[in-house]
Amino acid sequence: MGSCKLSVFGFLSLIIILLTVSGEENDQLLLAKERVSLLSFKSGITLDREGALESWNSSNIHVCNWTRVECNNASNHIVKLDLSDLSLRGRISPALAHLSSLVILDLSSNFFEGHIPAELGYLSQLKQLSLSWNLLEGKIPSELGFLHQLVYLDLASNRLGGNIPEQIFCNWSSSLEYIDLSNNSLSGEIPLKDEFALRELRFLLIWSNRLVGHVPQALSNSSKLKWLDLESNMLNGELPSEIVRKMPQLQFLYLSYNDFGSHDGNTNLEPFLASLVNSSYLQELELAGNNLGGQIPPIIGDLPIKLVQIHLSENHLYGPIPPHISNLVNLTLLNLSSNLLNDTIPPELCRMGKLERVYLSNNSLYGEIPAALGGISHLGLLDLSKNKLSGSIPDSFANLSQLRRLLLYENQLSGSIPPSLGKCINLEILDLSHNKISGIIPSAVAALRSLKLYLNLSSNHLQGPLPLELSKMDMVLAIDLSSNNLSGTIPTQLGSCIALEHLNLSGNILEGPLPASIGQLPYLKQLDVSSNQLSGEIPPSLEASPILKQLNFSFNKFSGNVSNGGAFSSLTIESFLGNKGLCGTIKGMSKCRKKRAYSSFILPILLSLFATPFLCMFLLLRSRFRRQLTMFDQGDLENEEKETKELQYPRISYQQLIEATGGFSASSLIGSGRFGHVYKGVLEDNTRIAVKVLDSRTARELSGSFKRECQVLRRARHRNLIRIITICSKPDFKALVLPLMSNGSLERYLYPSHGLKPGLDLIQLVSICSDVAEGVAYLHHYSPVRVVHCDLKPSNILLDDDMTALVTDFGIARLVKGIDENTTTNDSVSFSSTDGLLCGSVGYIAPEYGMGKQASTQGDVYSFGVLLLEIIAGKRPTDVLFHEGSSLHEWVKSHYPRKLDLIVEEAKLRIAPSAMPAYCNKIWNDVIVELIELGLMCTQYNPSTRPTMLDVSYEMGRLKQYLSNPPSLLIEEEEEEDASSKFGDSWK
């Protein structure tokens, strides 16, 4: 019996051993199968990044050691495949479906094209699927609804179309917490049925698609939802009050730019706001750009106390602003613009002490501006324009120390401009135009050096002379004082407004000559002095200006000869009407009479009388100058050699710079700015250089900025950053010597003037932007000295012989510490910003800077986004601000997504070659739209929602690759469509 038991025990042991061996063999077979699947996947892609998947080869048997592959420790089965951000191109292989134990699949931020394989729906263990930021197209496969374990689904920023398959939302055992289908071309309704529930859902992002219909009632089952973003679709019906009422954890609710209405026949907003009262975590509410009607109910003040932003602009709301809104004491942004509001501004708004931006423009508000608004200490922007406000401008505005933008234009304001506005030392924009303001322009207001965009006092009843203090506005881009009663002469000191691009003094009673200094303004593009009483000759400096494009001298008392050369070559007689004393070669203008020449012998006699003494004087002065220069160089030679040795730069003396630039002559001047001038020159060895000379008047004040720039340029090395040749630093002379870029700056190609090359095409522009993104990403994340550039704009992007872009001008860069918390370098340096130092150029400055925030990498991302939008829209951001009264971001967003066609077509006309292959049309359309979308993402108001510069660099590289090597299938489809179209036309 014992032997029997022993036999049975031995038999069972044998079975266990055999099963174990069999299980091990199955594991080996499964690993081999997974290995074959990965190699099959790799065979269908190309690698733009060298060595990205080098370990993936047939000789390396252990797949768990392959790059970006993770296995389960117990079973050695593949559970995670993360190939994000590797610049992979090709199609996603269905072979990935054989990775049956896969839990995480992340292929985001690559160049994958084609369709999403339906076979991915067989990965039954999958919990996270991310395919965002690729070139995927076609429909979302319904088989993804089989992924019952899925928690995270991200298909955003592709080219997916068609309806959303209802299986995605009707997953009966769904544990989905995150769904992002945004930024595609999905259509149809949101297919969430009442019998199904996404009870674990926390994030639902479907913005920027083409969805229609109502918000499904079944969404009310998602009571854990924190972030609901349905913005920029075509959804309609009443606002989903009963749905959001059941979302107590909601933090962000974005429903803007749809076709929603309010309740009771679009007359009652109260039910919807009441449904949010108990959402105690709510921070941002956006309902702009819908068709909401009715009044703003007092219950708005009962919304959660954590609320920081409310957007109700571009609707049909009427009636008063309820004073009860002042209960929202943590609100930083209130936007009620472009409605039908028609009462007084409640002074209770002053209780909202954290307000930073207030938009009440384009309504019918009346009465006086409450003086209490001057008590909102954090207020950085106040826009009350296009209303019916009356009375005077409150003196209390002097208390708004953070105020950056004050827009009161197109009202019925009267009284005088309060001199106390001069205390708003951070003011960048002041627009009081189209009112009934009288009196003189206060000198304190005219002396506001902080104005960086424009001063607009036009169409009022101002009188008196132009204040000399206007000359202190050395950063302002536009001054408009037209249609007033200003008198006296135009001060020559206006030539000190070196950043000025637009000057309009028309419609006044100014007299005397037009100063030649106006024509010497280096950036002046538009000048209008019409309808005054100016006299004398038109200064030749205006004709010689290389960038002046629009000029109007009509209806004055000018006299003298006018040619049709230079800046005048594009002018017609309309620019000179009403000046009887003018003559010249402009078509329609009377020709000048020839003057009788003096006898030919008089001139030689006069020359012989005066030439000799002047020659002697010149030789004497030159001798003295050389002696002084020698003493100067010898006295500072030791310091200069010490500094040169320290920085390890080649020594170029001050004398050599003088000789190279012709004594820093006007003919060598290639740029000017607040801090100095840039001259071109040639050294003795024929090296072409650009010399950035610091203005001697501000050298002492800005020496810190100068030293920062030297340090950045010395330690930051990248192919897309300008390199430094040397520096020249003396007590009263400081300069940077840089290589001269033969192709100049990007600005000259975006806005070519007379005689310059035509603009660049899309391929070149994308390549340039990719270069810039890489250079700035290096500054943010990899440079030994972490740098925030702070002044990204076209004029600070130089192009070498090969049209490679180099980022330049770090004069106002912030060197920051701790951008990468994991960095171990000891070279990180931290500098605080210098008082009065700009955080960039107007139009490119991130909105948070206007609220007093410190410079940050997110600010550079914002500036880069503006650059992208500027390139596509063909508009300077300052022009949009000046003419449209909004930022370039806001202007483009107002066209997105439904009105983009006009922008896209205009862009193609401007940046497409004359002979473009048929297949390029769709490709270029796609790239232009993606550039717009990337620009809008970079210029979001909230800095935390902007991508990093590494993300931006990746996206630009992806677009660059897509343009240079478009998918062959797309080319074939486009050529077939073109051939079919031509055949159809000939048949007709």
Annotated binding site for ATP: 692
Q: Sheet containing 461-465: give its strands across.
A: 438-439, 461-465, 485-488, 509-512, 533-536, 557-562, 581-584
85 belongs to the catalytic site: no
In this structure, the dihedral spanned by the alpha carbons of residues 42, 45, 49 and 51, taken in order and rounded to 10 degrees, is 20
Catalytic residue among 106, 154, 480, 791: 791
Q: Report the C-alpha gap between 223 and 439 in whole angstroms.
A: 61
Query: Which are the contacts of 704, defined by CB distance < 8 A and separation ≥ 6?
Result: 831, 834
* Residue set of the binding site: 692
Q: Report the C-alpha gap between 687 and 732 in whole angstroms.
A: 26
The answer to whether 152 touches 130, Cβ cutoff 8 Å, is: yes
Joined together, the tokens standing for residue 632 give 């100067």
DSSP 499-543: T--EEE--SSEEEEPPPHHHHT-TT--EEE--SSEEEEPPPHHHH
Q: Report the C-alpha gap between 63 and 793 in whole angstroms.
A: 47
Q: Which of 657, 608, 960 is nearest to 805 (CA)?
A: 960
* DSSP code for 115: P
Backbone angles phi, psi at 311, to 5 degrees: -115, 110
Q: Report the C-alpha gap between 723 and 708 in whole angstroms.
A: 15
Q: Which of 67, 135, 129, 132 is nearest to 102 (CA)?
A: 129
The answer to whether 550 touches 527, Cβ cutoff 8 Å, is: yes
DSSP 869-911: HHHHHT--HHHHHHHHSS-HHHHHHTTTTTTHHHHHHHHHHHH
3-state secondary structure of 864: helix
Instruction: For residue 641, count other CB atoms closer than 10 A to its CB.
Output: 11
Q: Report the C-alpha gap between 678 and 668 in whole angstroms.
A: 8
Beta strand pairing call for 550-552 and 526-528: parallel
The answer to whether 326 touches 348, Cβ cutoff 8 Å, is: yes
Joined together, the tokens standing for residue 538 give 């038109």
Q: Report the C-alpha gap between 466 and 966 in whole angstroms.
A: 59
Query: Which residue carries 């993804």 as its tokens?
Result: 144
The gap from C-alpha 429 to its chain's centroid, in whole angstroms, comes to 19
Element holding 416 (H helix, E strand): none
Backbone angles phi, psi at 909, to 5 degrees: -65, -35
Query: Which residue carries 């960039």 as its tokens?
Result: 840
Q: Report the C-alpha gap between 338 and 314 in whole angstroms.
A: 5
Q: Which residues of 644-662 are buried (b: 16+ CB within 10 A; e: fewer)?
A: beeeebeebebebbeebbe
Q: Where are the alpha helices (DSSP H) in 661-697?
A: none
3-state secondary structure of 112: strand
Q: Report the C-alpha gap between 441 and 883 in whole angstroms.
A: 23
Q: Sheet containing 185-188: give its strands across.
A: 45-47, 88-91, 111-114, 135-138, 159-163, 185-188, 210-213, 234-238, 259-261
Cis peptide before 240 (omega within 30 of 0): no
What separation in angstroms does the CA of 537 have from each of 496, 512, 513, 558, 586?
21, 10, 7, 6, 15
Active-site residues, by number, are: 791
